[in-house]
Amino acid sequence: MLEELSTLLDSLARDAGRADYLAAIIENNALGKQTVATRKLTAQRLTELYTLESNAPLFRVLRRFWHDDAAGRPLLALLCALARDPLLRATAEPVLAMFDGEELSRQKMTDAIRATVGGRLNDATLDKVVRNASSSWAQSGHLQGRVRKFRQKVRPTPLSTAYALMLGYLQGLRGGRLFETTWTRVLDASPAELRNVAAEAKRLNGLDLKSAGDVIEVGFTTVLTPQEIKDSRVTH
């Protein structure tokens, strides 16, 4: 839902709350939907994917980075949606494991989703999920093509890199482990390459970064509250 998210964020102030976003979608029809029912469904899905809640770090930081990193918006949206949507997240491995130029196997994506949900979805629903997930990966730049989709590499931006690192940080990871997560795999770059991009993110106040040889320390005092930092449990 990259187009809807972009339109919504461009139409409201950066300090807007969830009530403001919902009013814009449902009451003011900021997204140009034809019926009230469609407006409500769109509001529900956007809330599921992005929370639209300024107190939630996933959305608040996305909102902040959105303004400063236009080129990184597709990756920011995908990363947030992956963190929120387990069905989309189930399709990550089939896509990220593809080599550049490889054609997408719908069967592999279907199998990955089925392994996550078991028998809870019938074949028609599974097919719809695969279509939606394929569209999401195309909107983020990982796939190209209309009917047949092929893998292409994306290019990490400084703030999309900071966001991916933050997702690992909120899970309790620290140091070099932050550069070796599912979130950073989405960026199609090696840990060494991402360290260089992270240095630029530091200059943009997207994160804190200290390094000495092979030892690296990453923090997020510029974007997370002290309580959010405290609540992120360290995983050893």
User: Widest CA span of the chain, in angstroms?
Assistant: 58
d(CA 221, CA 203): 14
Report the Cα–Cα distance between both ends of the chain, in Å, rounded.
Answer: 36
pLDDT of 127-148, one tens digit each?
999 999 999 999 999 999 988 9
Residues 151-168 have a mean pLDDT of 97
Higher pLDDT, 65 or 211: 65
- Whether the pLDDT of residue 234 is over 70: the answer is no
Which among 44, 132, 141, 142 is positioned nearest to 88, based on CA atoms?
132
Nearest to 160 by CA among 70, 26, 53, 54: 70
pTM of the shown model = 0.92
Confidence of residue 69 (pLDDT cuts 50, 70, 90): very high
Residue appearing with tokens 């804190």: 208
Rounded average pLDDT over 35-58: 93
According to the model, what pLDDT value does residue 235 have? 53
Domain range summary for the chain, segments of one domain joined by +: 1-55, 83-151, 158-231
| Arithmetic mean of pLDDT over the chain | 93
Residue labelled with tokens 């839902």 = 1
Q: Give the pLDDT score at 236.
A: 42
pLDDT digits (tens, 9 = 90+) for 11-30: 998 889 899 999 999 999 99
Summarised one tens digit per residue, pLDDT across range 1-10 is 889 999 999 9
Instruction: Tell me what pLDDT residue 14 has.
Output: 86
Q: How far apart are CA 195 and CA 179, in angstroms?
A: 8
Q: What is d(CA 29, CA 38) in angstroms, rounded to the nearest whole number?
A: 10
CA–CA separation, 38 vs 40, rounded Å? 5
Tokens for 23? 């009013």
